[in-house]
Amino acid sequence: MEKDARIYVAGHRGLVGSAIVRALRARGHTNLLVRTSAELDLRRQVAVEGFFADEKPDYVFLAAAKVGGILANDTYPADFIRDNLQIQVNIIDAACRSGARKLCFLGSSCIYPKFAPQPMKEEHLLTGALEPTNEWYAIAKIAGIKMCQAYRRQYGFSAISVMPTNLYGPGDNFDLANSHVLPALLRKFHEAKLAGAPEVVVWGTGTPRREFLHVDDMADACVHLMEAYDGEEIVNVGVGEDVSIAELAAMVGQAVGYTGNIVYDASKPDGTPRKLLDVSKLTATGWRARIGLAEGIAGTYAWYLGQMKAANGQM
């Protein structure tokens, strides 16, 4: 991508979108197009078409999405499938029609079957039933993948689809009601430390294994693939290794400086036993993650503390 290319980052305020903006600016890209949801409602076709007709971006990173944890997905299934389908259809179609040179669509590892072989390869897509609690979101993302493939086949539109593993980092959601496991644990341990609580209770047995990728690595991979990959098939983005929830909790406790006990509530659900991506296709393009999990957790906790201080007027 040329340094002066017009690059639209949809969802620039979100976890991934904000990281993509950081990555692009670090590489000297200054002609970035961003709009808040108040300025441009991506669910409205006429508004999106008008934006693309006026701005005519050369490249598009589609990182905008309605996201949430298991509780949110299970509580608001209609919102998740409707909003995500609308956003994707509007942006992919308008990007193609306005002459954008390339689009990068961000999916999710939840597109894979609940009991897919581990590690999960790109060809496992649509080979089995989805996880029921977030199938609405997953189906929307699968539709986005297929739309990119269809527009490539029918219109020759250069659209690629990348599937990130579990992401974390600066800009994450720390709301215990709808956040993902890593930021939820960070907040839990932080509050336990402040309260002097003797123990932290973690849901489940601690045995499920999960893969975690720092969002700045994810952004770096997106920019890399935008420049190095132009195929129809999806590409997994992850680190290629996982940890148990118990190992993760111990790492979070160490980063926070919590010295109490960690207790596991086996009466609560564990979820899928393991979720690990096969990233051999990505590494074949010359890219590997650079931020280690312990380092990434420590940096994310430092960011969280900064946010807390700012919210309390201490900065």
Check which CATH number belongs to the domain holding 122 and give it.
3.40.50.720
Q: Is residue 139 part of a domain?
A: yes
Residue 283, annotated as binding a ligand: no
Question: Which residues are CB-neighbours of 93 under 8 A, at least 6 positions away?
Answer: 151
Q: Is residue 227 part of a domain?
A: yes
Q: What percent of the chain has a predicted confidence (pLDDT) above 90?
A: 87
pLDDT of residue 192: 97
Q: Is residue 104 part of a domain?
A: yes
pLDDT of residue 255: 97
- State the catalytic residues: 137
pLDDT of residue 315: 47
Residue 41, annotated as binding a ligand: no
pLDDT of residue 201: 95
Between CA 53 and CA 97 the distance in angstroms is: 9
Residue 309, annotated as binding a ligand: no
Token representation of residue 194: 């402040």
How many CB atoms lie under 10 A from the CB of residue 73?
24
List of the chain residues with pLDDT < 50: 315
Q: Is residue 315 part of a domain?
A: no
Question: Which residues are CB-neighbours of 161 under 8 A, at least 6 positions away?
Answer: 104, 105, 106, 107, 144, 145, 148, 149, 234, 235
Residue 210, annotated as binding a ligand: yes
Range(s) of the domain holding residue 118 = 7-171+211-239+275-291
Residue 165, annotated as binding a ligand: yes
Between CA 64 and CA 315 the distance in angstroms is: 30
Determine the 3-state secondary structure of 294 from DSSP.
helix
Q: Is residue 264 part of a domain?
A: no
pLDDT of residue 71: 75
The number of folded domains in the chain is 1
